[in-house]
Copies of this chain bind each other. A is one copy, B any other.
């Protein structure tokens, strides 16, 4: 294929990030934290106070001055005067002098003069006023001190954090009920190709099902991108061009991006301003990928081959999307290759793998086969990238696998 403006893997990602920046697609909105799942934080999150804001018991028992338990044991308990039972959520009514104690529950506030809690199982209540203590406690034993959880000014999350259930829990703990996040990007999906039919239609002649628009719909959803509509268009220059002119943030087109007769996307890209940014990535699979922008819209032309389309989406577009929004790179898992991987002749390789344990060692088993067999993708647990200049990898070498 004699493609124009072919980019390396890293360059392609960089170009997409630059295009995002040029289009300026970050718009901040303020959401209730329960509605914010999967959104990206548009602000740094700090603790605004010391937490807990009081000395808190971690046990049901008695709040004491720890010195009063020194030397206590089963035979010679300490004897303490009970001042009160501290109510949950309330300030203690009485402070303690040496030799005094108050009953307390888990989560209760220690009274003035107390610095430890003796669990109820090491005590024996004699009457309403007296309790025996059978075990010595350390200073602050069974107590969370003020600020132990977080200190005022502690950084919890940085801008670019994708919000998950752990983030929501921590935001709640900080008393933050609304957060600034980046609004969802809006995308349309166009699948092109005279041979493509909707998946409900009967598969006959040399037709092929429209796998890609379903796949891209779900993959965009994974990134919290809103898909306005998806549409199949037979290869028609004007119709495809019209769709691109609808001013959504993203137009993702599958098919029509290689150098064949009816590959309109790069041609349409050239007519836009600024226009076609690249056509072709030095990668396998997925070479015929193109990127164009006009003043409002990014047009990503993806291969019609479903596996190539999938590979480019997760290894190139998603990476660029992460970089643009400052999202921390995906966690990768080290695994041992089950077989040799040949050099890819100067091109980057996106290699799908299955992952399993064998003799307690995690094995990455490359999935080969025909590149338009989407069942391969559904068998894969992840992929790794073989860099363009790699001379290949041997069986038993380690790779870092990104889960998909």
Contacts and interface: CB of A to CB of B under 8 A. Distances in A.
A377 B199 contact: no
Interface stretch (A65-73, A215-223, A272-280, A293-301): A215-223
Given A175-B203, A206-B109, A170 B218 contact: no
A202 B362 CA distance: 49
A169 B352 CA distance: 15
Contact of A194 (B37, B89, B157, B207): B89
A58 B169 contact: no
A20 to B, nearest CB: 22
Contact of A260 (B60, B156, B165, B380): B60
A7 to B, nearest CB: 21
A371 B107 CA distance: 11
Contacts of A58: 370-372
B89 A53 contact: no
A194 B87 contact: yes
Given A375-B149, A380-B166, A173 B306 contact: yes
How many copies of the polypeptide does the oligomer hold?
2
- Most B CB within 10 A of own CB, among A157, A206, A398: A206
A381 interface: yes
Contacts of A128: none
A107 B304 contact: yes
Interface in A113-167: 144, 148-150, 154, 156-157, 164-167
- Most B CB within 10 A of own CB, among A34, A204, A357: A34
Interface in A178-234: 193-197, 199-200, 203-211, 214-215, 217-219, 221-222
A303 B351 CA distance: 45
A52 B33 CA distance: 46
A9 interface: no
A389 interface: no
Given A88-B194, A360-B334, A199 B177 contact: yes
Interface string A61-100: 0000000000000000000000000111111000000000
Contacts of A89: 193-197, 205-208
Interface residues of A, number: 93
Contacts of A242: none
A310 to B, nearest CB: 7
Nearest to A144: B370
A197 B374 CA distance: 50
Nearest to A262: B88
Contact of A209 (B37, B86, B157, B175): B175
B199 A166 contact: no
Contacts of A331: 355, 381, 403
Given A89-B207, A149-B373, A334-B357, 11 more contacts: A49-B203, A58-B370, A60-B260, A86-B206, A89-B194, A89-B205, A90-B205, A107-B193, A165-B221, A170-B374, A172-B211
Interface of A: 33-34, 37, 49, 52-54, 56, 58, 60, 86-91, 105-109, 144, 148-150, 154, 156-157, 164-173, 175-177, 193-197, 199-200, 203-211, 214-215, 217-219, 221-222, 258, 260, 262, 304-306, 310, 331, 333-334, 355, 357, 360-362, 369-375, 377-378, 380-381, 398, 403-404
17 contacts: A34-B217, A37-B221, A58-B372, A60-B258, A89-B207, A91-B206, A106-B305, A109-B206, A149-B374, A156-B378, A168-B215, A170-B375, A170-B377, A172-B199, A333-B333, A334-B361, A334-B362
